[in-house]
Amino acid sequence: MPLPMLPLEVVVMVAAAAALIALWYWYQSWHADKRLVHMMPDKACLVDANGVVLQANAAILELLGLEPSKALGVPLQNLMPDWQDMLKQAYGKDLHVELTHKGQDYELLSYNYHADSKRRTLITVRNITDRKRAQKAMQNYLEKMSMLHQVDNEVSATLDLTRSALLAMDAGLRTSGADAGFLALLEGETLYVRHMFGAYKRVKVGDPVTYDMSVVGRVLELQEAQFISDVSKDKDYVPDIPNIHAAMVLPLVAQAQLIGIMYLETKDPNRFNELLFDWMKVVVARLSMALENARLYKIVRQQLDETRQLYDEKSRLEQLKTDMIRIASHDLKNPVSVIQGYLTLMDLDKDRLNAEHQGFLREMQRATDRMFSILEDILSLERLQQHAETHCFDLVPLLLNAYNEYASPARLRRQLFTLEGTDGAQCWVNGNEKQLYEALTNLISNAIKYTPEGGEIRVVLTQDNAAKTVTVRVIDNGYGIPEDRQQRLFEPFYRAKTEETINIEGTGLGLHLVKNIIERFHGKLFFESVYQQGSTFGFTLPTVPKTE
């Protein structure tokens, strides 16, 4: 059946409606494209498959320097001829490249899509100049830090001052790119050139650095780094190498003290600048610390060598003294013994001598006894320097033996001599019995000797179980020691003589010997004395558990 013919009016209305719908879709598509481009935060434009500009926002128009009427409908590569080869690659592709335009860095991105069966390419351009500068600055910073780290490692790898200074000179030349330079270090009050690079004629390695050496004088005087961008304009600069254009003189400072200078020169007018000068001050500061460490190490080594030499010399002298004491003491004992023997024989026949000669005989006997006493004390001190075997023993029997030995001399002087605290007591200590017995007898004999006839001497033993100590005191009411003479009491060969004690024989070694013995076994010696009232001498020793 044939289709019914539509009235012309209906056909016209349908055609008009279709045209309106198509126009509506075209408007919506155009409006969407316009809204997309103008909402972009970056410089943006929309092009068709041939690169013709369909839409462009104000930012990209400003970059192109065009009005919208002169940009729309024109191929983008015609508007940006410097980028045309790159732009042709962007049409119909997704692309990400970096470009330069009028001294600025840009990032170009293209994004392709289809709308209304037509290909579109959205192109955005972003200015990345600041970012590139920041990246370059960061890269430069990292390179400098890497170089500084390398310099640190190189110069700090050795504590030899000569090698450390050579590495510092090399680091300064490499870091600055200088054509010539030298390094001077302080020795005493004078700076001496230690390393040099370049054909210098006025300065040589080993020369002292003086104030009249061009701008070096300003650095030495002010202790501030100097940068001369054009040496021909500096009145203080004294040329030595031809064609030098710029110079830097940097003080090496450690712990606020000048330790040297680094002098750098270049023939390149573009090599040295303020940024490099600031950076070199940082580098030199690090070099200064490494050089100061090497310098201090050298000083310490020298002092150590000197100390070792002094110690060796002291040891040699100590050994010589010991040998002399041993030889003298042993060799002297034999002739003194012979003299004493003959004096004893003479004493048997003293009745044949008159009173005056008998007095001579008594003086000789007293003199030989004193010589024997001195020799015994010296030998005791010498033995004290040697290793003594120690063991655990009871101090009470040792004290009883010492007390019994001096009971008779005390009785002859009509002195009241008593021992307290020993009944039923046991005091175990760690030490050498022979040496501690010598200490006890020295204190007791001194008390008897320096207490007048009819006086009183008490030997008192006390224990402190809580503190794990034992204390022995020898208390007398004898002559006592003046306060102004007590400070030197334990010095060897010192005797605190008074009017009452001037005629009492002694070597001045006894108390020095006692002090050394007690301290050797971790004890403490103490005393109290009041002139013409008496003295108390004693010591405290740590106690130990009894050993089976």
Q: Strand 226-228 vs strand 246-254: parallel, antiparallel, or unpaired?
A: antiparallel
pLDDT of residue 15 exceeding 70? no
Same domain, 96 and 187: no
Report the largest interatomic distance among the alpha carbons of the chain, rounded to a whole angstrom. Answer: 192
Residue-level pLDDT at 537: 95
Residue-level pLDDT at 28: 46
- pLDDT for 271-303, tens place per residue? 898 888 888 888 888 888 878 887 888 888 888
Q: How many domains does the chain have?
A: 3
Split at pLDDT 50, 70, 90, the class of 456 is very high
Answer whether residue 369 is part of any domain.
Answer: no
Query: Phi and psi of 215, rounded to 5°?
Result: -75, -10
Same domain, 279 and 212: yes
Which neighbouring-strand residues pair with 68? none
Same domain, 171 and 86: no
Same domain, 474 and 515: yes
Residue-level pLDDT at 530: 93
More confident residue, 366 or 322: 366
The mean pLDDT of the chain is: 81
pTM, two decimal places = 0.44
| Chosen domain end from 302, 328, 353 | 302
Mean pLDDT for the stretch of residues 428-432: 92
Same domain, 88 and 140: no
**Are 244 and 221 a contacting pair, CB within 8 Å?**
no
- Taking 3-state DSSP, the helix, strand and coil percentages for the chain, each rounded to the nearest 5, stand at 50, 25, 30
Q: Which residues contact 60 (CB under 8 A, 6 or more apart)?
A: 43, 44, 45, 125
Q: Strand 416-420 vs strand 456-464: parallel, antiparallel, or unpaired?
A: parallel
Same domain, 506 and 436: yes
Split at pLDDT 50, 70, 90, the class of 397 is very high
Same domain, 294 and 421: no
C-alpha–C-alpha distance, residues 155 and 144, integer Å: 16
| Helix, strand, or coil (residue 243) | coil
**Are 63 and 141 a contacting pair, CB within 8 Å?**
no
| Helix, strand, or coil (residue 282) | helix
pLDDT of residue 67 exceeding 70? yes
| CATH number, residue 288 | 3.30.450.40
Same domain, 393 and 538: yes
- pLDDT for 477-497, tens place per residue? 999 999 888 888 888 777 777
pLDDT of residue 419 exceeding 50? yes
pLDDT of residue 471 exceeding 90? yes
Residue-level pLDDT at 126: 87
| Helix ranges, 386-469 (H) | 395-412, 433-449
- pLDDT for 327-336, tens place per residue? 666 666 667 7
**Are 513 and 438 a contacting pair, CB within 8 Å?**
yes
More confident residue, 74 or 93: 74
**Are 239 and 213 a contacting pair, CB within 8 Å?**
no
Residue-level pLDDT at 16: 58
Residue-level pLDDT at 525: 94
Residue-level pLDDT at 12: 57
Could you tell me the residue range of the domain that residue 204 belongs to?
Answer: 135-302
Split at pLDDT 50, 70, 90, the class of 27 is very low
Residue-level pLDDT at 427: 92
Lookup: tokens for 203: 């300065």
Same domain, 84 and 203: no
Q: To the nearest 10°, the Cα dihedral for 6, 7, 13, 16?
A: 70
| CATH number, residue 72 | 3.30.450.20
C-alpha–C-alpha distance, residues 234 and 265, integer Å: 14
Q: Which residues contact 483 (CB under 8 A, 6 or more apart)?
A: 531
Residue-level pLDDT at 25: 47
Instruction: Tell me which of 146-155, 286-295, 387-396 is least confident.
Output: 146-155
| Chosen domain end from 251, 274, 302 | 302
Residue-level pLDDT at 281: 86
- pLDDT for 169-220, tens place per residue? 888 888 888 999 998 888 888 888 888 898 888 888 888 887 555 688 888 7
Same domain, 92 and 158: no
Same domain, 45 and 100: yes
